[in-house]
Structure 1
Amino acid sequence: METQATILLVTSAEYVGNYTLLCTSNNGEKKKVDLLPLLNLPAYAELKDEDEFLRYGVDDTVFWASGADIAPEYLFDNGVPC
């Protein structure tokens, strides 16, 4: 019998300060993810403005009003368990 791998999705994200999100995934794990290093990349540069950073939403991953988003796998792999 084959088992299917579960696709990792973000179910919620809470801003905890200093460009860090507490992300909960569909496997029940919570991880605190520091996104400050990403803000040096062109795709995320406008998120250095904290007001813009706070305009995020969750729809299977974290996304921003600017159109930027982050793969759930990145959040999971780079987060610290809580």
Structure 2
Amino acid sequence: MYIKNGIAYAGEEKPLIKISGVRPLDNYKLWLRFNNGETKIFDFKPELDSPAFSPLKNKDIFVTVYIDYGIPVWNDGEIDISPEYLYNNSVPA
């Protein structure tokens, strides 16, 4: 159990996952470093069928990924993806 802002929660508090490093790789993959020190590879190809991520099919846009407050973003922040989703759906580098 832990208490945060005066509210008691069951279980243990999980640390907030953030991205501390990102590099675009070939075949729409991302190399990621997380704030817990782990490095992973995320395959973005399955996400490209989603309307939210379809602009990233353009490799010139995909390779412009950068980090904004621990979140990977593209197009001046118009496109982003959750660090938690990336962490849970990537493989160790």
Runs (4+) of structure 1 exceeding 2 A deviation are 1-5
Calculate the TM-score normalised by the size of structure 1. 0.91
- Asked if 1:36 is matched to 2:45, the reply is yes
Alignment RMSD, CA only?
A: 1.5
Q: Which has the larger radius of gyration?
A: 2
**C-alpha separation between the residues in 2 aligned to 1:16 and 1:55?**
11
* Match in the other structure for 1:15: 24
- For 1:65, which of 68, 75, 88 is the aligned residue? 75
- Count of paired positions: 82
Structure 2 spans left out of the alignment, 5+ residues: 3-11
Tell which has more relative contact order, 1 or 2 (C-alpha 8 A, sep 6+). 1
Cα deviation per residue 1:26-62 (whole Å; 9 max; x = unaligned)? 0000010000110100001111010011121112011
Structure 1 spans left out of the alignment, 5+ residues: none
3-state SS in 1 of match to 2:86: helix
3-state SS in 2 of match to 1:42: coil
Question: Which deviates more from structure 2 when the two are superposed, residues 37-46 or residues 62-71?
Answer: 62-71
